[in-house]
Structure formats: structure tokens, C-alpha cells
Amino acid sequence: MRRALTGLGGTALALVIAAPAAAQTAPADAATKDAAAASSASAQVSTEPDIVVTAQKRENRLIDVPQSVSVVSGAVIESQGATSFSDYLKNVPSLQLVQGTPGQGRLVLRGVNTGGVASTVAVYVDETPFGSSTALANAAELAGDFDTFDIARIEVLRGPQGTLYGASSLGGLLKFVTNEPSTSRVEGKVLGGVEFTDGGDPSWRGAAMINIPLGDTLAFRASGSYRKQGGYIDSVGTAGSAVRDNINDFASYGGRASLLWKPDSRLKVRLSAVIQNLDVDAPSFVEANPASLQPLHGGLTQSQYLPTFSDVKYRLYNATIDYDFGPATLTSATSYGEQLQSVRADFTANLGAALGGPYVYFDQQTESRKWTQELRLASNGGGFLEWLVGGYYTHEKARIFQNLKLAVPGTPGTLTPLPTPAPLAIYDLESRYEEIAGFANATLHLARWFDIDLGGRYSHNRQDADQQTDGALLGASTINGIRSSDDVFTWSVAPKIKFGTRASLYARVAKGYRPGGPNVIPSGAPPSAPRTFDPDTVTSYEIGFKGETADKTASIEASLYHIDWNNIQLAAVVSGFGVNVNGGGAKIDGADVTATLRPTRGLVTSINLSINDARLSSNTDPLVVGAVKGDRLPFTPKYSISVNADYQWRLGNDVTASVGGSLRSLSRQLGTYDPVYLATYGHFARVPAYEVIDLRAGLTFGRYSVNAYVSNLANAKGITATQSLLGVAGLPRNPGGVLTTGVIRPRTVGLNVVVGF
């Protein structure tokens, strides 16, 4: 997080494939045999529909897309009781979440992560890019964790997506695809749920959806949800802090609405809005032994002196217009998005004694308001060439306002502001980001068995920022008009060999980038402090295979990749202010595999495997970061594996039952780069390996369904984030040199009831 103050922040898998076709004429006496074989094959083809994705900004079968893509369907999300990023990680290889507080999560794909403040994974909701494009608004730690009720699917694209999706997609893209309104009939759904967490308060959830045709050409769809999650971390009262149970509860609530107008077969207009709030009462960090990372005080605890919170608001509005001219379709997507966070942190343990004994707290507002416009023209398929050309424009305003304050001491768990004759520390940063880009993509069908996909994008951005400081700790200063600009060309090349219609072998080379920007340097900073920082880029080399049997009882997607990451962006501290700097590079080698088996009717099993060796290829500044060549990138396990199995069977004419389970295992990881920890222990924090077991069962009868689940059955204490040992002003963040770590939710038993009509 970018902060002004230091430290803030046994079945064999056999694939039925055909060799590339060669031009030849079948012998006349073989015609009858060929016809019989074709008839037999047709009888064995599965009725299960092909998975269709919009990864290339047009509808394609998943098996035809020449890159690594995962899809999590709405049905899977509902059956697993998934509501946020952390719930569906087991369904996507290479996807990691670094998180200590709901609504404050960092997405990582294929290990592209050094803990910087600008995002490396782009997030979209349909046609709308979400989150800040700049490194001046904490985008990396504020990935949009949208509610997943009544969603069609989640698409995850691994590898750089700079050609079609532009900036800040170095690692890949996560895209929420929502359900469109339908003119066919009135339909609705109501969900109610309850959860019980080991050692915590109960949780509950309610949601509803309605789809209403407003004639033959107009339809409206809306959904709303409310989720209250009980806390499970206690404040234990060390050093005189508050004694309270289950302080990290939170509420997530909001809704989506969409209006679809299709006056004829050529024109489609869709208006959409998404509103969601996340109100969190305390971070999900626990105090741990810094050497072993084991929780202290006999459980999941922290020491809170005064109440804290983190409130995040998402606001997205979009208008998408499609017009089919026959040979090509023109698409216009206009979006406006807001991401607003208000957070209060307890700094008493860090600064209270140094300031003479009062409670100390820190208020911060982070605001990002973003307009985007995309216009593209895409061919409607068929023939030798499929093509797409487009233009993109974005304009964003962002602000970070920070205020360090004092409160009356001696009343743990309450906050009574203490009047001060002058501000203690105030920091106000306003920034503007503007980008214009042009892009093109083409697929050449050079033979029945060979395609090549080509893409390119030219992007130009310019940024400027103004900074004001005040208070006894920072001093009064004003710096205006800090500027920077970038010009970047990204590209991709992906040849593909097709083995019939059910298998393909592809290679992909692609480049992605993340914008640079201005550094707002405080008065008195040394001349060596960088006034700007440059973009960082990745070049990815990937080879992959996708295949499925004709009856879809078996499928596999496997890829090998090498990534060169150059000029990596790192967070640094200059005169107590957070700035961005460029380091050397990193190299990432890995493999992703997803294999699915349907050995008998109703049984679906899958394995997701990710192997990742992500390491620095050069040294970083020993005082700023401390990492050296060969160090692993933070929170990128060398391997992660998840196994999912679900079985469904009929109990009667209108009744079906299901049972299932998942196992997710992660190897040891490296914690956040922290030079103080390194100097103290001779290495960075080592996050232990852990496994998570989930179970589920369901019953559907007519329009009713009941889904029960157990998450984290074995009550694993997996670590999802580590904070630095030092906080503000170079003083220990917590008393006694304690390290704080984010943890996964303890064992939770839940039940959802859904009624559809």
C-alpha cells in the first residue's frame, strides 16, 4: 500500500484426437465403413454444451482460445457456497490472493508479484475495467472483490493481456461475466444462508434476483444481496489494550441492475449498474511469533486499543451498444467507476509511547474515479481472416488523504479524540491519469488444421500529481505539477495446430506492461530520490495443449511458460514517504495443468496443478528492499494443487442429490520483502505450507435446492499475508517485535437454501 508515512499501510486419461488432415480421397469400398463409424461417433458425442468465453472480446469456445484460460461457472460458485476471491481459488491454477482484510486483497497470477502498489492483474466486470490504472491510488491492494450471486461465470486469463486489455495486466486478467436480462419469461431466485465458524460469531446471508420481460424487445434484471460475516479474531488486552471477542466481523451488501433493449436482430443496447459496499470492523491480522510465524496467546488474536474499520465502496455504470452490420459488428462500451475506501488504523502500539502516552490512530481516504470509452469493430467470423480493431480512452482522478490523530488514553476499546493545538501529520495527494490506446487483433486460418493469432496495441498515458503536507511530524509543504508520460507497444503472437475439433496445440509469445508515473518527493529529499518511475514489462513464452474426448468424459489443458520481467516496480521509502522505484528483473518458469474426468454419469473430478519457480534475476537496493538475485518472489508457492470431485444422482422424478469435496495444497512461500526482518533473522519470513479441505452436499427438488458445506474442515491456519516489522517513523509496528499475519478463515459450516421461480 502506498503511504506517505513509513510502514503504513485407477482411470487412465485417453484423449481421442485426429492427426492434421491431409487432402486425399477415400477408397470407394470404404464409404460404408466410414458412414457407420461416423454414425457411431455421433451417438457417443456428449450433449453437454461447449464452454463459451469472451476472452478475446468475441465469443469463442474455450478449447479454441490459444492461451491458458480457466472458467468458474455460476453453478459451481453456488454449489460451493463461494462469495469472494478466497472461496474459488481452488478452481483456478496459479491464482493467489494476498489478503489481511476483506476488500483489501492483492491478486497474483503466475507469480508476478513483488509487493508493489500498482496492480499486476486486471479486473473487469463485463466490458468495464475496474480499479485504478495508476500506482498513486493503492490499486494492487484494492482488487474488486465483487459478490458472485447470480453471476454467469468468472473467466481467468493467465499470462500478459496487454494487447486486448492494456495496462496492469502483467500477470493476467480476472473477468466477472454477469447474466444478461432475458425477454423469454419472468424468472426469479431467492437465497438464504447461515454459517457457523469455529471460535467465532455466526454469519448469515440473503440474496434475491428477478428477471422481467418488458415486451418482446426489452427486459430488466436485478439482484441484491446482504452478507454478514461474524468475526473470529479476539483482542486479548496485552499491554492494556481492549479485551473483546470476534472483532473482525464485516458486512457486504449491494446489488446489480441491467436493462437490455433489442429492437431487432442487429442492434443490442445494455445498460448496467453495480453497487456494493464492504464494511469491515477490524483487519483479519493476528499477532504471531516473528521467527516461527505461529499465532501468539493461544489462538487467533491481536491487541486493539481503539476501534478500527475499513469501508470500501464499489460503483460501476456501463452502457454497451452492439450493432451488426453483417460482415462486422461495432461495439461501444462507455463506463464510469468509483472505488472509495475509508480506513482507520490503530497506531497506539507503534507511536503511543513515543508521543508521551496517548492513543494514536490514523485515518485515510482513498478515492478513484474513472471514465473509460472503448470502441471496436470486429468481423463476424468465417473465411480466411477474423479481425478486430479498436480504440480505448480512460480518464481517472485519484486522491489519498491521510491524517494522524491522537485520542484520550486509558479507555481501551473506545475512541475519544484528543484536541491538539496543531495537526500531528496530514498528507494529501491528488493525481490524474489519462490514457489513449489503439489495438488490433487478427486470426489467420491458414489451413484447416493451422491458425495464427496476431495482436498489437499502442498506448500513451500522461500523469500529473499535486501534494500537500502539514503537521508537526511532516511540516508544511506544497508541491504541484509533478508529471510523467509513457509510450508503450505491446504485442502477441499465437500459432495453433488443430487436431480435429476437439484438440489443439498452441504457442504464445506476448508482452504486457504496467504504467510508470510521477513520484511526489517531499521537501528535503536527497537529490538521488527519483522524481518519476518507469513502466515495467513482461515478455511471456508459453506452449500449451487443450484436448477433450468426443463424449467429453475427459479433458485436459496444460501449459509450460517462461516469463521475463524487466524493470520491476518496487515500493521504497524516502524521508518517511512512500515512493516507487524501478529494480532489476525477475524470471518465472512454470506449468499449469487442469484435467477433468467424467468416468460415469453424474461424477465429475478435476485436478488443478501449478508449478512455479519465480525468482529475482538481479539484486535490489539492500536498504530499501534487501532481496537479492535468486530470492523467490513473495507469496508465490513453488507448487499448488487442488483436487475437486462431485457426484450427482437422481432420487426420483424431480429430485437430485449431490456430494462433493475439494483439497487444496500450497507449498512453503516467502513472505513480504522486509529488510528489517531480513536483518534480524537472516532471511525473509517463511510462510509454512498448508492444506485446506472443503466438503459439500446438496439436494434439489423442483424449484427448491439446499446446499450444505464445510470449509476448512481440518481447521488449517494458513497464512495469506505478512506485514513489515516496523511501522511509522522507524519504530516497531507492534510491542515486543511481534509480526502480524493474515490468516484464512477457520472451519466454517454453512447451509444455503435457494428457491427459484
Q: Which domains does the chain have, with CATH numbers?
A: 55-756 (2.40.170.20)
Contact 279/294 with Cβ under 8 angstroms? no
DSSP 568-624: -EEEEEETTEEEEEE--EEEEEEEEEEEEE--STTEEEEEEEEEEEEEESS---TTT
The C-alpha cell at 131 is 480499479
Q: Pairing relation of β-strands 503-514 and 477-498?
A: antiparallel
- Lowest-confidence segment of 40-44, 192-196, 405-409 by average pLDDT: 40-44
Dump pLDDT digits (tens) for 191-226: 999 999 999 999 999 999 999 999 999 999 999 999
pLDDT of residue 35: 39
Q: What percent of the chain has pLDDT over 90?
A: 68
Q: Which residues pair with 273 in a beta bridge?
A: 257, 317
Question: What is the helix (H) or strand (E) element at residue 536, kind and residue range?
Answer: strand 536-548
Contact 541/562 with Cβ under 8 angstroms? yes
Checking if the pLDDT of 176 tops 50, the result is yes
Arithmetic mean of pLDDT, 302-319 = 95
Cα–Cα distance, 146 to 30 (Å, whole number): 57
Checking if the pLDDT of 575 tops 70, the result is no
Q: How confident is the model at residue 240 (pLDDT cuts 50, 70, 90)?
A: confident
Arithmetic mean of pLDDT, 252-260 = 97
Cα–Cα distance, 660 to 352 (Å, whole number): 51
Cα–Cα distance, 489 to 85 (Å, whole number): 31
pLDDT of residue 563: 97
pTM for the model:
0.90
pLDDT of residue 9: 36
DSSP 159-228: S--HHHH-TT-SSEEEEEEEPPP-SS--EEEEEEEEEEETTS--EEEEEEEEEEE-SSSEEEEEEEEEEE
Residue 245's SS3 state is coil
